[in-house]
Amino acid sequence: MDRRHFLQMMLAAPLIVSIPLNAAFAASADAEPQAALLRASELLTGRRGLDPAITARLWQLLVDKDASFPAQLTRLIGNLAALKTEDREAIVGHLDDEDVKTALTIISPWYLGYTGNPSTTKAVDDAHFVTFLSALMYEPTSDHTIRPTYARAGGDYWVEVPKGVTAPAMPENIREWGDKSPQAAPTIREPEEPWLLMVQGKARTLAEAQDMIAHKKTA
């Protein structure tokens, strides 16, 4: 899916904001930079009341990543304000590739909760945290699923046996074990060298990491 088609999908989603796009963007053109980003974010995501504190964090991250972002934002707002249509699909069709890229740069962190591209194979990447609880990607299924890592029934909900489950016999003092569990590891093992090479991005596969280690030993 290309950027333009993805942006069309985002702007075609059900909207909460009822203010006409053109009038709202015209009002944003002369706003302070962070206020303009907030207004653009609300209009592009179709939401009112986005958190100004999150907007401030997002603004700083986007500017730190690309010093030309303020100019890109001004350009996007100006071009949107100049359009004479309220058809969001047509609006995307009138934007050039640079404006589409800027719009997605603004929208993506609000949905994903981070900027940049997180990597599972490198120790360091360019991803930066923006928000977790307010990430918009969780909204469509919020009535059925919880945000990852959050306990559905509050802290320590797991100590009670779920309804309908027959638990096996457990030691009487199991709830007091904590970090003193008989099965707890006494120390944290040093990472194995092949795994470390893959995490550091020096090797893509286990076989490649093992070859690197073997070559180092024979060098």
pLDDT per 10-residue tile (average), the chain, 219 residues: 63 52 57 87 85 96 96 90 72 85 93 90 87 88 74 69 84 75 75 89 91 87
- Same domain, yes or no: 7 and 111: yes
* Residue 105 and residue 16 share a domain: yes
Residue 83 lies in a domain: yes
For the chain, how big is the Rg over CA atoms in Å?
Answer: 24
| Chosen domain end from 83, 115, 147 | 115
CB 114 within 8 A of CB 128: yes
Residue 75 sits in which domain range? 3-115
Shared domain for 111 and 196, answered yes or no, is no
Q: Please, which residues have CB within 8 angstroms of residue 8's CB and are 6 or more apart in sequence?
A: 88, 89, 92
Whole-angstrom distance, CA of residue 93 vs CA of residue 173: 66
Residue 125 covered by a domain: no
Q: Looking at the domain assignment, is residue 179 inside a domain?
A: no
**Both tokens assigned to 90:** 């047509």
Look at residue 166 and tell me if it is in a domain: no
| In a domain? residue 62 | yes
Give CA separation, 179 vs 119, 182, 184, 185, in Å.
31, 9, 7, 9
Q: State how far the Cα of 159 lies from the Cα of 141, in Å rounded to an integer.
A: 27
Q: Does 170 reside within a domain?
A: no
Q: Please report the pLDDT score of residue 45 as a whole number.
A: 84
Total number of domains constituting the chain: 2
Q: What does the pLDDT read at residue 22?
A: 56
DSSP 80-149: HHH-----HHHHHHHS-HHHHHHHHHHHHHHHHSEES---SS-S--S-EE--STT-GGGGGGTTT-PPTT
Residue 126 corresponds to which tokens in the numbers above? Answer: 């360019």
Residue 114 phi/psi, 5-degree rounding, is -155, 160
186-192: long-range contacts, CB 8 A cutoff, minimum separation 24: none
161 occurs within a structural domain: no
- Written as one string, the DSSP assignment of 10-56 is HHHS--S--S-HHHHHHHHTTS-HHHHHHHHHHHHHT-S---HHHHH
Which of 115, 133, 152 is at the close of a domain? 115
- 137-176 pLDDT tens trace: 888 887 777 777 666 666 667 777 878 888 888 887 877 7
Mark which of 115, 136, 156 sits at the end of a domain.
115
In a domain, 128, yes or no: no
Same domain, 100 and 204: no
pLDDT digit string, tens, across residues 185-204: 777 788 889 998 988 888 88
Instruction: State the pLDDT at residue 37.
Output: 94
* This prediction's pTM: 0.62
Q: What pLDDT was estimated at residue 17?
A: 47
